[in-house]
Amino acid sequence: MSETYEFLHTAGQHPREFSGGMSTATPTRTAWRRVAVALVLIAFVLIVVIAVQQSLAAASAIDRSVPESGAETAPAGSVFAPSEADGVIIDGDEPTVFDVDRAAVKNLDPALLDALQRAATDAADDGVEFRLNSGWRSPELQQHTLDEAVDDYGSTEEAARWVATPETSAHVSGDAVDLGPWSGLDWLVQHGSRYGLCQIYGNEPWHYELRPDAVSEGCPPMYRDPTEDPRTGG
Ligand SMILES: [Zn+2]
């Protein structure tokens, strides 16, 4: 340590000793400048290396926190772990409306599923596909989703703008789907009412339900968000 200190001390002091009226750099002074520049570069590289190591460590910590099954982990204190049979849909494994072996699709109201399948068949002619990000959900999954939303949004009131209770959710009754991708939603905005498929909430462009009258009358005005929906008691 003392060698390093001496070295840095000397390197720092040296230019000041010669700062009095020198207009040309001596070879020694040039050499000291090079040393100073090299020290700055070394310090910079060390800082970058440490920063990269720390971010890699943080990234691997995040990786380890993701369960290998891909399923969501139940919050602490909860014994419920949602599964495929509850209508769970995992990112990257979103079913089409024809994947009736999936609980989220199979348990939808038959009239809604029929409308979705007819729409999807016609959309396919336009090169557009629908995927379900959510469909039917078990009451247990809905409660789990609501609990998570309260955690995420910080209050029951704010969570209620996005997630219904098991008693009021149109997903639990099999009367609603959350669709993607955006190209599919674009198609539904233009053609959905022909099949009775309507967006219900202004803040949820992905949430569709069946409104049979829409075939002849067009979709009804949207609620701004679920709290305005009388079904959810808002
Ligand atoms: Zn929805």
25 Cα–ligand 1 center, Å:
74
- pLDDT tens sequence across 94-141: 999 999 999 999 999 999 999 999 999 999 999 999 999 999 999 999
207 Cα–ligand 1 center, Å:
4
When computed from its CA atoms, the radius of gyration of the chain, rounded to whole angstroms, is 31
pLDDT value at residue 131? 98
204 Cα–ligand 1 center, Å:
7
108 Cα–ligand 1 center, Å:
13
232 Cα–ligand 1 center, Å:
13
Token readout for 140 is 């247990």
CATH of domain 84-232: 3.30.1380.10
pLDDT value at residue 42? 67
131 Cα–ligand 1 center, Å:
13
67 Cα–ligand 1 center, Å:
25
134 Cα–ligand 1 center, Å:
7
- pLDDT tens sequence across 187-204: 999 999 999 999 999 999
Sign of CA dihedral 184, 175, 71, 146: positive
Give the span between the Cα atoms of 229 and 177, in whole angstroms. 17
210 Cα–ligand 1 center, Å:
12
Backbone angles phi, psi at 116, to 5 degrees: -65, -40
Give the span between the Cα atoms of 35 and 39, in whole angstroms. 6
Backbone angles phi, psi at 121, to 5 degrees: -65, -45
Residue ranges covered by each domain of the chain: 2-65, 84-232
pLDDT value at residue 38? 74
**Residues of the chain under the 50 pLDDT cut:** 1-23, 60-72, 74, 234
